[in-house]
Structure 1
Amino acid sequence: MEQAEIGLIGLGVMGSNLSLNIAEKGNRIAVFNRTPEATRQFYAHAGDLQKQIIPCETLEEFVAAIRPPRPIIIMIKAGDPVDQQMELLRPYLSAGDIMIDAGNANFRDTMRRFDHLKDSGLTFIGMGVSGGEEGARHGPSIMVGGKEESWKRVENVLTSISAKFNGDPCVAWLGENGAGHFVKTIHNGIEYADMQMIAEIYGILRDGLGMSAAEIGEVFDKWNNGRLNSYLIEISATVLKAADPISGKPMVDLIVDAAGQKGTGKWSVIEAQNMGVAATAIEAAVAGRILSSQKSEREAAEKIFGLPKIADLPSDKAAFINDLENALLAGKIGAYAQGFAVMAAASAEYKWNLPMPTIARIWRAGCIIRSQFLDEITSAFTKDPDVANLIVTPAFAQMVKDTDGALRRVVSFAALSGLPAPALASALSYFDAYRRARGTANLIQAQRDFFGAHGFDRIDGVDKHHGPWGSGLGEFA
C-alpha cells in the first residue's frame, strides 16, 4: 500500500475537517483516534475521499503508514493531553520524524516541547491554525513555527490546504520553536479586541439609538461593503438579522450576554505586559469578557444604581452612524497596531525575526480576523517592515487623522450615556498617549523617587537624579 504523506491524531470536529481538507487536496493521509470507533465512523463518512485516507486503529499501524520522515499532526485538547500523546507516540518514531501541535497551545509549552526533544533525534512544529471548523475544512490560515527543514517537509501539504487570497497561500514559516503559536496567540488577542469593539458599537446602536437587531444588521451589511469589509462584520450582520425558529424573535436578543473565552486572549495580554508593550484595547476586550461573565453581579448592581439617561442624540442620525463606522475603523487600527507591536517585541526577545508583512499577508483569508484592512497592513509593512508602530506609517497615520474626530465623538456619547465602550475608549487613550511628546509620567517619577528613591532623569541633562523632597531625602537635602 502507498504510504501517507502525513498523519493526523485526533478526529474531533477540527481534526476531522482538517483531515478531509488534506485528503481533498490530493494528499494521502493516515488518521488515528484513541477510540477506534471514532476512526471507523470518520472513514465511513469520508465518501469519495476514502481512497486518500488510511484509517489506523493502533499507533504502531499508524506510524508505519506514513512516509519517513513522518510529519504527524496532533489535533487534541491543548495542554497535558498533548504531552501525554507525544509520550505515547515517541516509542514508534524514528530520527527526523516531526510531531506537530496544531491546537491553541501556549507558545511557552511549545518552546518547552522543543527543548524536551532537542537530543532525541525527533523534532517538533508548533502550528497555529485559524478559521474555525469551516476554515479547517476548506482552507485555514496557518502559522508555522519550528526548524526550517521541518517546514520544508510539510510545506507542500500545508500550502495545498491553506486559504488563498487572490491565489496567494495563507501559510508561512514564521521562525523557530514557539513563533507560530505566539503569532496565533496575538492573532486571537486582536480578534478579542475586534469582536469587543463591534459589540460596543452594537450596544450604542441598540441602547443609544434604539435600533432593532435587524436594523443594526442592515447597517453592518452596508459597512461590510466599505472600509470595514471583514469576516467579523459579515457574520455580525448575519446573526443580527437571524430569527429564532421557535419564537420568531431576533436570535441575538435571546442569547445570554455572558461571553466565554479559552485563554488565548488572556495569554496575549500577559505576554504584552511581559514584553513591556501597551496593548490596552486587547486588555479591555479581555476584561470586557470577564465582566460579561459576572451576570448576576451586574443585575444586582443595576438594581442599586439604575442606568444613566441616554445623552441627547445627534440631530443628524445618519451622520452619527457614519461616525460609528469611522470610530470602529479607528479602534481597529489601534488594536492591530498594538498586536503587531507585541509581536515585534517578542521577535526581538526570542530572536525569531518575525516577518510582519508575511503575517499580515497570511491573515488576509481563512482566519477569523480576515479583512480588506489586512491588505493595507501588508502594504504598509512591506514598505517599512521595521517601522516602530503601524499608526505612524503614512497610510495609517492618514487613517487615524481621518477617523480621530469620529472616535472622540462616539466615546464621548457612550460615556455621557453610560454605555460601556472600554475597548474603543482604550484605543482613543492609546492614540492620545502615543502621540503626546510630553506626558504626565514626570509626576509618577517624582512620586517614585519620593517614596523609594528610585531616581529620575532631568530634561536639562543635569547630573542630579533625586529631588529635594525633605530632610535626609535626595541629593539636595
Structure 2
Amino acid sequence: MAQAEIGLIGLGVMGSNLALNIAEKGNKIAVFNRTVERTHEFVEEAGALKDNIVPCETIEEFVAAIRPPRPIIIMIKAGDPVDQQMELLRPHLEKNDIMIDAGNANFRDTMRRFDALKDSGLTFIGMGVSGGEEGARHGPSIMVGGTEDSWKRVEKVLTSIAAKYNGEPCVAWLGENGAGHFVKTIHNGIEYADMQMIAEIYGILRDGLKMSATEIGEVFATWNMGRLNSYLIEITAKVLEAADPIGGKPIVDMILDKAGQKGTGKWSVIEAQNMGVPATAIEAAVAARSLSSLKGEREAAEKILGLPAVAPLSVSDKTAFIKDLESALLAAKIGAYAQGFAVMAAASKEFNWNLPMPTIAKIWRAGCIIRSQFLDEITSAFTKAPDAANLIVTPAFADMVKETDGSLRRVVSAAVLAGLPVPALASALGYFDSYRRGRGTANIIQAQRDFFGAHGFDRIDGTDSHHGPWGSGLGAGA
C-alpha cells in the first residue's frame, strides 16, 4: 500500500472535517485517535473517501504509514495536551519530520515549541486554520508559520484543501515559528470587533428603533448585497430570520445575552499593548464580551441604578438613519481592520517575520470567518502602498473614512444620547479622531509626569530644556 502524504492526530469535529477535506482532494492521509473506536467509526463514516484514509491503532503504525519527511497535523485541545502529544510522538520520528499544531494556539507557545526542536533534527509548524467546522471540511483559510522547507513539504496538500477566491488558494507561508498563529490570533481579534460592532448596530435597531428581529434581519440581508457584503453580515441576517422550533418566536430573542470567548481576542489585546499599538476597537469588543458574562451583576445593577434617564432615540427619517447605520458600521469596520493590520506590522518588525500584508488580506478573502468583499480593497491598498503607516492613510481608505466619518459620528452621538451602549463603535470613532489630530493633548500628561516624577519632556521649539518651572520640592518622584 502506498504511504500516506500526511498524517492527522485527533478526530474530533475539526480534525475529522479536516481529514475528510484532505482525503476528498485526492491526498492519502493516515489518521490516529487516542480512542481506537473513534478511528474505526470515522473511517466507516467516510464512505467513498475511505480509500484515501489509512486508519492506525498505534503511534508506531501511524508514523510508519506516512511518507518521509512526515508532516503530522495535531488537532487536539490547545495547551498542555499538544506538548504531551509531541512528547509521545518524538521517539518515533526521524530527521526532518514535521509536527504541525493546527489548533488555536498562543503564538508564544508555538515559538517555544519551534525553538525546542531546533537542534533535534525535527521541526514544527504553527498553522492557523480559520473557517470553523464548515471551513475545515470544505476549504478554510490557512496561515502557516515555520521553516520554508517544511512549508514546501506540505504546500501541495494545504493548497489543495484551502478555500479558493477567484481560483486563488487562501493559504500562505507567512514566516518562521509563530508567524502563522500570530496572524490567526489577530484575525480573531478583528473578528471580535466585527461581531461586537454588528451587535451594537443590532442593539440600536432593536432598542432604539424598536424593530423586530425579522425586520432587522431584512436590513442586514440588504446590507449584505452592498459594501458590507461579508460572511458575518450574511449569517447575522440568517440568525435574525430564524424561528425558535419550540415556541415559534425569533430564536435570537430566546438566546441568553452572554457571549463566550476562548482567549484569542484577549491575546490580540495583550500583544497590541505589549507592542504599544492602539487596538481600541478590539479592546472594547473583548471587554464587552467579558461584561456580557456578568449577567447577574448587570441585572442587579439595573434594579439599583435603573436605565439612563434620557430621551428615547428619535429620528425624523428612519430610512436615512438606517443608511447612516450602514455607513457607520463600514467606518468602524475600517478602524478595526486598520488596528489589526497595525498590530501585525509591529509584530513583523518585533519578531523579524516580514509579514506580507497584501498576502494576509488575500488569504482572508474566502474560507475564514471575517471573509468579505472589503478584503479585496485591503489587498489592493497594501499592494499599492506596502509601506503605508496605517491602512486608513492609504488613498482608497482615506477616502472611505472621509465619506463615512459623519455617519459614524451621528450614530455614536444618537446612541449615547439615548443611553444605548456602543463601546466598539465609539472606540473606532475615538481612534479616528485621535489618529488624525496632529496636535493632541498628551502635552499636559507629559507636564504632569515631569511635575510629579521629573520625567522630562521634549519642547516643540527644540530648545534644550526638558523640565518645567514647577519649583523645587513641588513634586515627588514616582
TM-score band w.r.t. shorter chain: over 0.9
> Could you say which residue in structure 2 is the equivalent of 1:61?
61
Report 1:252-401 matches (<5 A).
Answer: 252-308=252-308, 309-401=310-402
8 Å contact from structure 2 (residues 209, 313) kept in 1: no
1:312 CA displacement: 4.4
> Could you say which residue in structure 2 is the equivalent of 1:408?
409
> Could you say which residue in structure 2 is the equivalent of 1:462?
463
1:472 CA displacement: 4.4
Cα distance in 1, alignment partners of residues 442 and 379 from structure 2:
34
Report 1:13-162 matches (<5 A).
Answer: 13-162=13-162
1:386 CA displacement: 1.2
1:310 CA displacement: 4.3
In the superposition, the TM-score normalised over structure 2's length comes to 0.98
Q: Which runs of 4+ in 1 moved over 2 A?
A: 308-312, 471-474
> Could you say which residue in structure 2 is the equivalent of 1:217?
217
Note the alpha carbon deviations across 1:118-168, whole angstroms, 9 max, x for none.
110000000000000000000000000000000000000000000000000
8 Å contact from structure 2 (residues 313, 415) kept in 1: no
Cα distance in 2, alignment partners of residues 263 and 30 from structure 1:
31
Cα distance in 2, alignment partners of residues 460 and 109 from structure 1:
47
> Could you say which residue in structure 2 is the equivalent of 1:192?
192
1:311 CA displacement: 3.4
Cα distance in 1, alignment partners of residues 410 and 372 from structure 2:
25
Note the alpha carbon deviations across 1:406-446, whole angstroms, 9 max, x for none.
00000001101111100000000000000000000000000
Amino acid at match of 1:207: D
1:187 CA displacement: 0.1
Secondary structure of residue in 2 paired with 1:210: coil
Cα distance in 1, alignment partners of residues 301 and 420 from structure 2:
15
Amino acid at match of 1:420: P
Secondary structure of residue in 2 paired with 1:173: strand
Aligned residues: 474
Cα distance in 2, alignment partners of residues 65 and 11 from structure 1:
17
> Could you say which residue in structure 1 is the equivalent of 2:173?
173
Are positions 1:452 and 2:453 aligned together? yes
Note the alpha carbon deviations across 1:375-399, whole angstroms, 9 max, x for none.
0000000001110000000000000
Secondary structure of residue in 2 paired with 1:433: helix
Secondary structure of residue in 1 paired with 2:466: coil
1:6 CA displacement: 0.1
Percent sequence identity is 84
> Could you say which residue in structure 2 is the equivalent of 1:231?
231
Secondary structure of residue in 1 paired with 2:126: strand
Unaligned 5+ runs, structure 2: none
8 Å contact from structure 1 (residues 311, 413) kept in 2: no
Secondary structure of residue in 1 paired with 2:143: strand
Secondary structure of residue in 2 paired with 1:142: strand
Are positions 1:5 and 2:1 aligned together? no
8 Å contact from structure 1 (residues 208, 310) kept in 2: no
In the superposition, the TM-score normalised over structure 1's length comes to 0.99
1:20 CA displacement: 0.1
8 Å contact from structure 2 (residues 130, 369) kept in 1: yes
8 Å contact from structure 2 (residues 186, 268) kept in 1: yes
8 Å contact from structure 2 (residues 141, 367) kept in 1: yes
> Could you say which residue in structure 1 is the equivalent of 2:436?
435
Cα distance in 2, alignment partners of residues 426 and 44 from structure 1:
51
Cα distance in 2, alignment partners of residues 104 and 394 from structure 1:
35
Deviates more, 1:297-306 or 1:167-176: 297-306
8 Å contact from structure 1 (residues 358, 378) kept in 2: yes
Amino acid at match of 1:141: S
Cα distance in 1, alignment partners of residues 404 and 367 from structure 2:
28
Cα distance in 2, alignment partners of residues 455 and 280 from structure 1:
27
Secondary structure of residue in 2 paired with 1:339: helix
Note the alpha carbon deviations across 1:306-365, whole angstroms, 9 max, x for none.
113443411000000000000000000000000000000000000000000000000000
Cα distance in 2, alignment partners of residues 420 and 27 from structure 1:
50
8 Å contact from structure 2 (residues 128, 143) kept in 1: yes
Amino acid at match of 1:444: I
Unaligned 5+ runs, structure 1: none
1:473 CA displacement: 6.1
